[in-house]
Amino acid sequence: MTDGRIRLAEVLAALSIATDLGLGQPAGHAARTCLLAMRLARALGVGGAGLSDVYYVSLLRYIGCTADAFEVAALAGDEIGIAAAVGPAVMGEPAEETAAVALPGGNAAKAVVMATHCEAAELLAGRLGLGAGVLTALRHGFERWDGRGNPAGLAAEAVPLPVRVAVVARDAELWHRRAGYAATAEVLRHRRGRAYDPAVVDAILGGGEPMLAGTAVPPWEEVLAAEPAPVHIGGDRLDTLLAVAADFADLKIPYALGHSRQVARLAEAAARDAGLGDECAVRLRRAGLLHDLGRTGISNVVWDQPRPLSADEWERVRLHPYLTERILERTALLRPLARLAGAHHERLDGGGYHRGSPGSALGMAERVLAAADCYQAMLQQRPHRRARTPAEAARELAAEVAGGRLDPRAAAAVTAAAGQTSVRLPSRWPGGLTDREVDVLRLACRGLSKPQVAQALCISVKTVGRHLENTYAKIGVSSRAGAALYAVHHGLLGETG
């Protein structure tokens, strides 16, 4: 990770894999979509900044996929399964989508889902430092050529070109993988002039099956080579990008907002307290930011259970560190962090997961990250238990040490770091928010309904609604996901470490 040699595209590629998991697609779906989109763009004569916009939009079009996982799962069940089922039909006719998955609320519910995805995608891409053309396109990521798309109902050439290309490339990749070229060509012809720009369809059909060839294997190096104007960044910028990845992962689960950032801070401070050195402290900070990326591949139906998990549900939970590790293994930049980030649930007695590694296989860095994750998780409300106070969390950490599960030196360093860390609340809130608006925002971001917020703050539901309307207007968002991203980015959640 030498400064000046860090490729922005490597971070974006890792994020794209996480979006694949969140959509129930195989790892590499977005990468293959990106490569096909680049072929199409070149066939259409796109060059310069426009070509770069196509690259980033096709790679990150679904970066908003975690934004409403909580709401969709609560409304209709397994949101990942729903996304996988509806994927082939999302740009087809309404009857096709209904046949795949009938969402409660019909077209109105679909419009809200799409608008939320687009808003979150635009916000996250902005924080990644991507250009105005990319942000505009992601804001309109589900528009259609015939004007029946979302969120704004743009039509024909009013739909940003990167979207027109990415939509066709994504669907062609998906259909070709699942049904072959003949079926793909039939879908393209049927949707030509409806969801799809005729010129883009003609370009792909004009190239025939060779246009889709070579996309069967996740082509990571090919994707990096395809970036039209490679962007190199320094170490400081890398940490900013990894914080975006942390928020992307935590956004999936409202009660986990800010978790990855806090784990990163605790782990870094504990490493320094334990005398592990600057290099190890930086590795722990970065691994802490990325450790829960694998959560995107596990449905909120599992994460949000208010009861003890079944054996099958536990097996799915135990997969998330493995998925984190596999995401990070895909690019040379993040590969050195993969095994460390994937070890955050390992325990000294071998009873952790996903490897079940014994203490002899765990270095001090792994032990510190495990203690930091354990402590920070205790401070947050979970569906099956209340949040612990810092003192209670420290006692539970000590009990884990006594039980031979956590390292005593690592646990001591984490609790010491937590005791020295406090959140300094600003005397004036960003965006002109009032104290009460921030109180309401914090609870709403955690997934509480308006009646639940009202009960917690001893105010009326109508007052909660008014505060939320004012807050959304002040900070320029229109969904809980957008508000949550704003809150975590500006440190409004008020958690202590």
Helix extents (H) in 62-160: 69-76, 79-86, 94-100, 106-127, 132-139
Helix axes 132-139, 161-179, angle to 10 degrees: 60
Beta bridge partners of 318: none
CATH of the domain at 463: 1.10.10.10
Domains of the chain: total? 3
- Say yes or no: 78 and 226 in one domain: yes
- Say yes or no: 401 and 434 in one domain: no
7, containing H or E segment: strand 6-7
pLDDT, residue 280, reads: 96
- Say yes or no: 278 and 224 in one domain: no
CB neighbours of residue 329 within 10 Å:
17
- Among 4-8, 169-173, 473-477, whose mean pLDDT is lowest? 4-8
- Say yes or no: 65 and 104 in one domain: yes
Domain presence at residue 425? no
- Say yes or no: 219 and 301 in one domain: no
- Say yes or no: 127 and 260 in one domain: no
Residue of higher predicted confidence among 221 and 134:
134
- Say yes or no: 412 and 456 in one domain: no
Cis peptide preceding 151, ω within 30 of 0:
yes
Share of residues in the chain with pLDDT > 90 (%) = 77
Q: Is the pTM of this model over 0.85?
A: yes
- Say yes or no: 81 and 35 in one domain: yes
Domain boundary among 232, 252, 283: 232
CATH of the domain at 309: 1.10.3210.10
Phi, psi of 358 (to 5 degrees): -80, 170
152-161 pLDDT, tens digit per residue, is 999 999 999 9
20-79 pLDDT, tens digit per residue, is 999 999 999 999 999 999 999 999 999 999 999 999 999 999 999 889 898 888 888 999
Domain presence at residue 496? no
Domain boundary among 215, 232, 249: 232
- Say yes or no: 215 and 248 in one domain: no
Once rounded to an integer, what is the mean pLDDT over residues 231-236?
88
Share of residues in the chain with pLDDT > 70 (%) = 96
Residue 311 has pLDDT above 70, yes or no: yes
pLDDT, residue 214, reads: 67
Residue 1 has pLDDT above 70, yes or no: no
**96 pLDDT band (50/70/90 cuts)?**
confident
Q: Quote the domain boundaries for residue 442.
A: 430-489
pLDDT, residue 497, reads: 36
Polymer length of the chain = 497
CA distance 173 to 43: 17
Domain presence at residue 251? yes
pLDDT, residue 217, reads: 56
Domain boundary among 232, 261, 289: 232
Instruction: Please identify which residue in the block is written with the tokens 């979207």.
Output: 163
Domain presence at residue 495? no
DSSP 88: G
Residue 227 has pLDDT above 90, yes or no: yes
Give the residue among 239, 230, 426 at the shortest CA–CA distance from 337. Answer: 239
Q: How large is the greatest C-alpha to C-alpha distance in the chain, in angstroms?
A: 68
- Say yes or no: 294 and 307 in one domain: yes
pLDDT, residue 253, reads: 92
- Say yes or no: 68 and 195 in one domain: yes
CA distance 42 to 25: 26
193 is written with which tokens? Answer: 């002039």
**496 pLDDT band (50/70/90 cuts)?**
very low
